[in-house]
Amino acid sequence: MKSLNIGIIGLGTVGCGVYNVLRAFDEINIKKIAVKNINKKRNIENLDESLLTQDAYEIVNNPEIDVVVEVAGGINPAFELLTAAIKNKKHIVTANKELLAKKGNELFSLAKANNVVILYEAAVAGGIPIIMPIKTILCANKLTKIAAILNGTTNYILTKMAEKDLSYETALKQAQELGYAETDPTGDVEGFDAAYKIAILSTISFNKKVDINKIYREGITKITANDIKSAKELGYKIKLIAMGQVTDDGRIDVRVHPMLVAKKHLLAKVDNATNSIMLSGYPVGDLVLTGAGAGAEPTASSVVGDILVLSSGLEHSQCPVPQAVCNHTEFADQIPIGETYNEYYISINASNNPGVIGLVGTICGKNNINISTIMQKGINTDNTAEIVVITEKSKESDIQNALSDLLKSESIKKIDNLLRVMN
Ligand SMILES: NC(=O)c1ccc[n+]([C@@H]2O[C@H](COP(=O)([O-])OP(=O)(O)OC[C@H]3O[C@@H](n4cnc5c(N)ncnc54)[C@H](OP(=O)(O)O)[C@@H]3O)[C@@H](O)[C@H]2O)c1
């Protein structure tokens, strides 16, 4: 391997993991580490504090540094810093999914123009190797579908809601106390984090640029203990699924939302904070990769792996990982959610009147929706009843029309939830 000089921007959860794992690799010399607060106590034994700086430009402008490892996160100042580093002909290793999903186009074009590469194995699913396999050994394939659990925090919350009959709020609070969720959990529970990751995965799988702003996104905050219970009774678990697929007419359907996943499905067996990615394509068929999607050590496995790939590649060539050069020129034609087809779970709060089930059936029928299961779940103290419907595959816009027709009837009090179903 070629001896490499690197600079690391960020020494938090991932940065500390990377520093500790790199101790085993003498050929990688850490020249500088940038942090925000130089006086903070770090989770590192015998840290060489002379390496620390509060000025990340000391890294990106340092002529001795070959590779910039960005594990700070966010858009600013990461975008400006990596732009400067690339213009200074430094290769990049980053774990920053938000930056790549929002600014990847600019960064990859700039990297190509400057003959450097950006490696980002850790940006999607932490310790699970997925970026390099898609870019290298799976390149003989036409990949057509990704279905994945890409956010450990939401998977942990949904698992605990199901295991312990907890409300969303209680499960979130427990996840925060145990360090699985951040104090401000928005990025995870509203599906932003999973959307960044599926944008990256879909772009490299389908070879077209996916626009993060066109990804349909729903989080898990509206999932109730009742939904989890009904799903269980019907033979499903609720999971936050990130999905990307090529439709029959060649468009790309990319979205993130909770789904009822049939208990026999491999993704339904993935619990707690674990991540899992199911890829389908020709000729490989279906593949499932499962493992730790976050955490200092699993994420360091991917970051350090990228650094070592660069180190061995640079021994032979100035372009160390040619497969990492981004050649996507075309934007994907992304399908709006209204045009997608899914099976649905609809939870309806209705008056306990005779004929109400018939009414639901008639309105679904009028909107081209076939029902596969319908059940009434007891009577509430206010003389309303919860009706749960599972539909056959239907068009999303038909479902939305049916919901608004249902709400026009006096017998229907409210639609408690609408979720999509994966069998
Ligand atoms: N945590 C995971 O398991 C995981 C998994 C996969 C990917 N990622 C990604 O990895 C990145 C880092 O995540 P993390 O969990 O390690 O974050 P973190 O614990 O919050 O650490 C961020 C680090 O960046 C430093 N930093 C912030 N602004 C800076 C600036 N302007 N200049 C220099 N340093 C700066 C902070 O310095 P101070 O310590 O001085 O505040 C801190 O050391 C993010 O992009 C995240 O999405 C994380």
Print the domain residue range for 394. Answer: 339-422
| Co-location of 88 and 113 in the same domain | yes
What span, in angstroms and rounded, lies between the C-alpha atoms of 342 and 255? Answer: 12
- Residue 330 domain-assigned (yes or no): no
Residues with catalytic roles: 197
- Residue 331 domain-assigned (yes or no): no
Query: Strand (E) positions, 176-235?
Result: 216-217
Q: How many CB atoms lie within 10 A of CB 395?
A: 16
| Co-location of 157 and 99 in the same domain | no
Q: How many CB atoms lie within 10 A of CB 315?
A: 13
Percent of the chain with pLDDT over 70: 100
| Co-location of 76 and 27 in the same domain | yes
Per-residue model confidence (pLDDT) at position 68: 98
| Co-location of 243 and 191 in the same domain | yes
Q: Which two tokens stand for residue 69?
A: 């490892």
Q: Ligand 1: distance of its center to the CA of 11 in Å? A: 6
- Residue 401 domain-assigned (yes or no): yes
**Contact status, residue 281 vs residue 138, Cβ threshold 8 Å:** yes
- Which of 9, 14, 93, 118 maximizes ligand 1 atoms within 8 Å of its Cβ, making it the mutation to test the pocket? 14
Using a 6 Å cutoff on CB, does residue 324 contact ligand 1? no
| Side-chain-side CA neighbours of residue 119 (13 Å) | 28
Can you give the pTM of this predicted structure?
A: 0.97
| Co-location of 142 and 286 in the same domain | yes
Per-residue model confidence (pLDDT) at position 324: 85
321 pLDDT tier (thresholds 50, 70, 90) = confident
| Co-location of 241 and 206 in the same domain | yes
- Residue 198 domain-assigned (yes or no): yes
Residue 316 has pLDDT above 90, yes or no: no
Residue 98 has pLDDT above 90, yes or no: yes
Query: How far is the first Cα of the chain from the last one, in angstroms, to the nearest whole number?
Result: 47
328 pLDDT tier (thresholds 50, 70, 90) = confident
The CATH number for 146's domain is 3.30.360.10
**Contact status, residue 29 vs residue 54, Cβ threshold 8 Å:** no
| Co-location of 23 and 108 in the same domain | yes
| Co-location of 193 and 320 in the same domain | no
Model confidence over 372-416: pLDDT tens digits? 999 998 899 999 999 999 999 999 999 999 999 999 999 999 999
- Residue 220 domain-assigned (yes or no): yes
The length of the chain is 423
| Co-location of 193 and 98 in the same domain | no
Using a 6 Å cutoff on CB, does residue 97 contact ligand 1? yes
| Co-location of 25 and 95 in the same domain | yes
| Co-location of 262 and 317 in the same domain | no
Per-residue model confidence (pLDDT) at position 318: 79
The torsion angles phi and psi of 23, rounded to 5 degrees, stand at: -60, -25
Amino acid at 375: M
| Co-location of 41 and 152 in the same domain | no
Per-residue pLDDT, averaged over 195-204, amounts to 98
Using a 6 Å cutoff on CB, does residue 73 contact ligand 1? yes
| Contacting residues for 296 by C-beta, under 8 A, at least 6 apart | 13, 14, 16, 17, 20, 43
Model confidence over 137-191: pLDDT tens digits? 999 999 999 999 999 999 999 999 999 999 999 999 999 999 999 999 999 999 9
Residue 34 has pLDDT above 90, yes or no: yes
- Residue 334 domain-assigned (yes or no): no
Residue 326 has pLDDT above 90, yes or no: no
Model confidence over 330-372: pLDDT tens digits? 999 999 999 999 999 999 999 998 999 999 999 999 999 999 9
Q: Ligand 1: distance of its center to the CA of 380 in Å? A: 48
Q: Supply the DSSP symbol for 44.
A: -
132 pLDDT tier (thresholds 50, 70, 90) = very high
| Contacting residues for 232 by C-beta, under 8 A, at least 6 apart | 162
* Structural domain total, the chain: 3
Q: Ligand 1: distance of its center to the CA of 36 in Å? A: 10
Per-residue pLDDT, averaged over 222-250, amounts to 97
The CATH number for 49's domain is 3.40.50.720
- Which of 18, 35, 100, 197 maximizes ligand 1 atoms within 8 Å of its Cβ, making it the mutation to test the pocket? 35
Model confidence over 102-114: pLDDT tens digits? 999 999 999 999 9
- Residue 68 domain-assigned (yes or no): yes
The CATH number for 387's domain is 3.30.70.260
Exposed e or buried b for every residue in 343-375, given b needs 16+ CB within 10 A? bbbbbbebeeeeebbebbeebbeebebebeebe
